Amino acid sequence: MNLEGRKIIVNKSSKELVELLKSPENYKEFMPDGLQKFETRDNGFKFGLQGMPEIALKIDEVDDQKAVLKSASSSLDFSLTATLNPISENQTEVQMLFEGKFNPFIKMMVEKPLQNFINTLTDKIEAYK
């Protein structure tokens, strides 16, 4: 299952975004309203949203072209990638991409909430100052 967020322009350099996305505590800024739990870990974070199970993510890779978060649970196989495409010294195009391997039943249940989550992340990153 692959989902895409819309492409956005962020008024930050790709270097600034890389530094921001390396730190687990910074991801709290991008979480949707309804966040009920957020705790950082060495290389990632765990969060809970109203009406959804808690999700643990680890920061797998961050460089000047992408930031990759992967599931910290062995029972769920997915990744969330933010592609970073520098446009100018102070602007970067960002797009959220989700890739997961789910059975058809799980896919049916999670596809819409995940797309909403990606859209919210995209909106929050776009609005980030």
pLDDT tens by residue, 51-100: 788 899 999 999 999 999 999 987 889 999 999 999 999 999 999 999 99
Report the pLDDT value the prediction gives residue 13, as an integer from 0 to 100. 94
CA dihedral 24, 30, 33, 39 (to 10 degrees): 0
Residue 129 has pLDDT above 80, yes or no: no
- Between CA 68 and CA 99 the distance in angstroms is 11
73, amino acid identity: S
CB 126 within 8 A of CB 8: yes
Q: Alpha-carbon distance 109 to 11, whole Å? A: 35
Question: Does pLDDT of 5 surpass 90?
Answer: yes
Report the range of poorest mean pLDDT among 5-9, 15-19, 48-52, 57-61: 48-52
Residue 20 is predicted with a pLDDT of 94
Q: What is the pLDDT of residue 47?
A: 95
pLDDT in tens, 28-57: 999 998 899 999 988 999 999 887 888 999
DSSP H stretches of helix in 4-128: 14-22, 104-127
* Structure letter (DSSP) for residue 7: P
What are the structural domains of the chain?
Answer: 2-127 (3.30.530.20)
**pLDDT tier for residue 112 given thresholds of 50, 70 and 90:** very high
